[in-house]
Amino acid sequence: MKKITAREVALSGITAALAVAAVVLSHFVGVLTLTFLALSSVVLSLPLMADSLRGSVLAYVAAAGLSFLFVGYVSVMPFVLMFGLYPILDYILRKYLKKRVFVLLVEIAFANLSFLAVFYAIGLTLGDFPIVDTLPDWGKYLVIFVGLSVVFVVFHFAFSLLYDVLKKRLEKVIKK
């Protein structure tokens, strides 16, 4: 097993600090909650740009633990169960699955399952989604998950595009 370098630890520490800042801001700036959580995903991909899966996992664990200290359980769970794990899963799938369609299908399944986990972990109910009040329960779940899948596909393509651009621009700085 390759020994972890000081550069990898430093990059992971900076990444964890930026991710914690994004999670804390998502708690205090309510209208931009999803924006800051998405930013935390992008930030956690910095070690992955240097091909350091171990560094990204280290940053994710540190950011999740520190976020629990600064904000409540309800604010941190979307990061822990969804937005923090996404860049790690995306990196692994990109590396080992050559067909991009399979990557997208696995990630849509991940998004739906992690949303369901967050849904129950923070105690949401179907009543929290007033836009689907007139539908039966199965219809509410269907509309919520189809809507989530559409939003996730947009997020996935935006994340992938931003990841590729940042990797190209930061490659010399991060890999030194």
Looking at residue 1, what is its pLDDT?
A: 61
25, pLDDT greater than 70: yes
Which residues form the domain of 162? Answer: 6-175
101, pLDDT greater than 90: no
63, pLDDT greater than 90: yes
In this structure, which long-range contacts are made by residues 71-75, counting pairs with CB atoms below 8 Å and at least 24 apart in sequence? 71/23, 71/24, 71/27, 71/28, 72/27, 73/122, 74/122, 74/123, 75/23, 75/26, 75/27
Q: Read off the pLDDT of each residue in 58-86 and give the average, rounded to a whole number.
A: 92
Number of structural domains (the chain) is: 1
Mean pLDDT of all residues in the chain?
88
Residue 92: closest CA among 40, 42, 53: 53
Domain assignment present for 99: yes
Domain assignment present for 101: yes
Looking at residue 21, what is its pLDDT?
A: 95
Domain assignment present for 72: yes
Domain assignment present for 39: yes
Q: Read off the pLDDT of each residue in 102-125 and give the average, rounded to a whole number.
A: 87
- Whole-model pTM above 0.75? yes
Domain assignment present for 1: no
